[in-house]
Amino acid sequence: MVTPDLSVEVGTVRLKNPVLTASGTFGYGLEFQPFLELSELGGLVTKGLSPKPRRGNPPERIVETPAGMLNAIGLQNVGVDAFLSDKLPKLRAFDTAVVANVFGETEAEYVEVCEKLDASSGIAAIELNVSCPNTECGGMIFGNDPASLATITRACRRATKLPLWVKLSPNVTDIRETARAAEGEGADAVTLVNTFVGMAVDVERRRPVLANVSGGLSGPAIRPLAVWMTWQVRGAVKIPIVGMGGIMTARDALEFLIAGATAVQTGTVNFVTPSSAATVARDLASWLTQRGIRSVREIVGTMRTT
C-alpha cells in the first residue's frame, strides 16, 4: 500500500500534513515534547504574543460545560521578546511549521510584534488574533467589525513579509464579511473559528462561574457551528482556510477539510490527550489509505450538496 501524501499548501506555507495545533492550547510547543514528536505535526501555533508579558485574568478562568469548556485566560503570555530569545531557538530544531499568534491592545502594538517576528528566522507565518473574546482590548474589537479588521490587517500586512493568517471571530452576524475584509487587505489565509462567547452560572452563589463573567466556548460542542462557518467562508473568499472547532479525531478533521479547509487546528483536545494532534495526523493517513486516496488534497473542498 502506498503511503498517502498528506502535504498541503496554505498559500505559500507548505505543511507536511494538514494538522496544526491551535493557539492557546499548545503553549509554546515545547511543553508537549514528553507526549509527541513535534515533527509529526503539520505545524503549531503559539500562545498569543503581545509586546510585553501579560499576567492574564484573575481566577476562576475555566469551567467545563456540556461537550466543551469555557475559558477566560486573558491572553497571559511571556511577551514577544521572551518568545524570540527563549522559545524560538529551541523550536527551530523541529521540522514543523511554527506559526506565531499575535495580538495587541492597539494597532501600533500589533505592528510592533509583527515587525519583531519578521526580523527573526524560523517563523512560517503570523496568525493575527483579532478575535479573543476575553479581554477588553484583546482583539475582538478589531475582529467583530469588517472595517476595523481591514485596518488592522492592512497595518500588519505592511509590517511583515511573512505569510499573514487572520483568525476570525465567530461572534459576528456574518463571518463572510470579516473573511472578505481580511482577503481584501492581503491576508494569505483565514483561520476560523476562535471561541464563541458564553457564560456559566453558579446557581448556589448566583454568580458567574468565571471571574471575567463571560468566557470563550471551545470543544466538540462548537464543531457543527465551526464546520458551517468554514463552509460559508469557502464560498466567500479565494484564500485558503485553516479550520478549527472541537476537532477530537481524524473524522472530525475530515469534516472541515471536505467543507473547504486546506488545513485544520486541534485545540481543546490537546488538554485532554496531549498526543492527540499526532494521532489525528496518523489516522488521517490511514483513512486515506483505506480508501485508496493518494493525497489529502483530493479531499479538500469536495463537499457535494446535490
Partner 1 sequence: MMSDFATTVVRNVDLGRGSFLIEFEDPGLGAAMRPAQFFMIGIPGNDVLLRRPFSVCGLPGTFDDATPGTLQVLYRVYGRATSLLASLKRGARLDVLGPLGRGFELRGDDAEIVLVAGGIGSAPFPAFLKELARRGRKASMIYGARSAAELPLLDWFEEHTERVTVTTDDGSAGTKGLVTLPLTSILGDKRKVHLYACGPNPMLKAVARLAVEAGVPCDLSLEAPMACGFGVCLGCVVPVKVDGETRYERVCVEGPVVPASRMAW
Closest of 91, 235, 229 to residue 168, by C-alpha: 229
Q: Which of 5, 82, 120, 271 binds partner 1 (CB under 8 A)?
A: 271
d(CA 107, CA 103): 9
Q: Is 86 in the site for partner 1 (CB under 8 A)?
A: no
Q: Which is nearer to partner 1, 39 or 273 (CB)?
A: 273
Using only the alpha carbons of the chain, give its radius of gyration: 18
Contact between residue 191 and residue 165 where contact means Cβ atoms under 8 Å apart:
yes
Closest distance to partner 1 from the beta carbon of 148 (Å): 27
Closest distance to partner 1 from the beta carbon of 27 (Å): 4
Q: Is 35 in the site for partner 1 (CB under 8 A)?
A: yes
Q: How many CB atoms lie within 10 A of CB 132?
A: 26
Q: Which of 8, 32, 157, 195 binds partner 1 (CB under 8 A)?
A: 32
Closest distance to partner 1 from the beta carbon of 220 (Å): 7
Judged by CB under 8 A, which stretch of 10-18, 122-130, 267-275, 290-298 contacts partner 1? 267-275
Judged by CB under 8 A, which stretch of 71-79, 115-123, 143-151, 288-296 contacts partner 1? 71-79
Per-residue cell: 123: 517563523
CA distances (Å), origin 94, targets 33, 36, 78, 101, 188: 11, 12, 21, 18, 24
The DSSP code for 4 is P
Closest distance to partner 1 from the beta carbon of 59 (Å): 6
Hunting for cell 509583527 — which residue is that? 114
What order of strands is seen across the sheet that includes strand 196-198?
62-65, 68-71, 215-218, 196-198
Q: Is 139 in the site for partner 1 (CB under 8 A)?
A: no
Q: Is 249 in the site for partner 1 (CB under 8 A)?
A: no
How many residues touch partner 1 under the rule CB under 8 A: the total is 31
d(CA 127, CA 194): 12
CA distances (Å), origin 64, targets 101, 167, 198, 277: 25, 24, 12, 21
Q: Please, which of residues 181-220 interact with partner 1 by CB under 8 A?
A: 219-220
- Active site (annotated) includes residue 132: yes
Judged by CB under 8 A, which stretch of 60-68, 79-87, 88-96, 108-116 contacts partner 1? 60-68
d(CA 75, CA 134): 8
Q: Is 145 in the site for partner 1 (CB under 8 A)?
A: no
Closest distance to partner 1 from the beta carbon of 129 (Å): 15
Q: Is 34 in the site for partner 1 (CB under 8 A)?
A: yes
CA distances (Å), origin 91, targets 14, 123, 275, 277, 282: 17, 10, 17, 17, 22
d(CA 119, CA 303): 40
Q: Which is nearer to partner 1, 27 or 79 (CB)?
A: 27
Judged by CB under 8 A, which stretch of 51-59, 113-121, 180-188, 256-264 contacts partner 1? 51-59
Closest distance to partner 1 from the beta carbon of 231 (Å): 25
For helices 276-290 and 250-259, the axis angle rounded to 10 degrees is 70
Hunting for cell 511549521 — which residue is that? 97
Q: Is 73 in the site for partner 1 (CB under 8 A)?
A: yes
Q: Which is nearer to partner 1, 275 or 289 (CB)?
A: 275
Per-residue cell: 279: 494521532
Would you name the residues annotated as active-site residues? 132
Residues that bind partner 1 (CB under 8 A): 25-27, 31-32, 34-35, 55-56, 58-64, 67-69, 71, 73, 76, 219-220, 268, 270-275
